Structure 1
Amino acid sequence: MSEAASRPAKATPRPRRARDASRAASRSAILAAARRVASRDGARDLSLRGVAAEAGFAPAALYGYFRNKDELLLALAADDLTVLARAMRDAGPAGLAGAGAAALNLLKGAETMAAASAALAGTPQEAGPKEAGKLAEAERLFNGRLIAALKALSDAGGLPTGSRESQCDVVLVAASLAGLALLARSGRLGALGFSPEEMIARLDGRFGRG
């Protein structure tokens, strides 16, 4: 037997595309597990260890995808913004009233966006350069999805964006919807004697172009 034949064959490295697909699938599984934990226990009380257990991952393995809770919450919130943008685009020809109602309906149940606000307050000073960079990357993803959601709101609602003033109107409508969602989720909107439909109609009357 030749020397070459007696040596063990080297393991064939996995193609890059296969590795990327495997990593993407694992990331999706982690996010799905995180969403189940958030729905069950509340997004604010979500922990990486709890998510790892739900997903069937070793806790240490999770850090290869999300280095901390803030990064995971931002990823969940970014996904919520994508769903939100799609819902507003699919709201039909009802203009701002339809887009606003679709947005409010989703925002009432999207606790992840409210929980992610702490991550957006700034990078912890004790974070190392690598961790700070990863969090900044998660923030850029979130910001990109937020801009896409604002564009979907302006398009579906017929809101112009050609001037600074009109762009302010879009942000005001979005902020109003987020605030209404917070009041509705906590039951305070009804306690104050208002309904979501009434508030959406007021927004449509003030900002709509119908």
Structure 2
Amino acid sequence: MIRVLLVDDDALVRAGLRLMLASASDIDVVGEAGDGGEVEALVDRHRPDLVLMDIRMPGVDGLEATRLLRGRPDAPEIVMLTTFTTDGYVLRALRAGAAGFLLKHTRPERIIDAVRQAAAGEPVMSSEALGQLIGAVTSRPEPTAASGTPSAAEAARGLRLLGPREREVAVAVSHGRTNAEIAAALYMSVPTVKSHISHILAKLDLNNRVQIALLVHRAGPAA
């Protein structure tokens, strides 16, 4: 079973998500929170595999709650579920460690599939958010050191820390390929792909494969 924690300040939204996810036999909603400040205690209590997190909440918002959670050992995966798709929200959520970004008007079956994907370590992204993300990464001016975002040169230097096969896997991740697709393309087993991704995350001090993709895109042709 995939254990899910719902975090949204709107009780009706939580009720709708709970009802929606109850239709999937492999998903169990283990708890709910109305504010990001409640999340850490609930994660300790229920040990969810995944958190569906709203961004705008009156106390601790979803971005801060995500940053705090992903800084913990054995943190659950986090998918942001929101009505807001500005590139600032998308980038901040992914940099905080979110595994994906979905809109609340996403079809129920897509949200269920996204829960399964994220719980398996695969990135999930609405088409609107993905378009804004790509545009933000490829068209923005070179970031400054104070921005916390690596420059193209810094990203390229980071990728040079990887072995040849790790680099191939990182580039494949940046193209949105699943573990199975990477395994087939690079002639390796799925467990080997997962092992390479774990090594990449450790070497580059990243939280998830979405951040790998961001780094590869930032490196540009140097990748």
TM over 0.5: no
Report which of the two has the higher share of helix: 1
Rg comparison, structure with higher value: 1
Report which of the two has the higher share of strand: 2
Q: Taking structure 1 as the reference length, what is the TM-score of the superposition?
A: 0.30
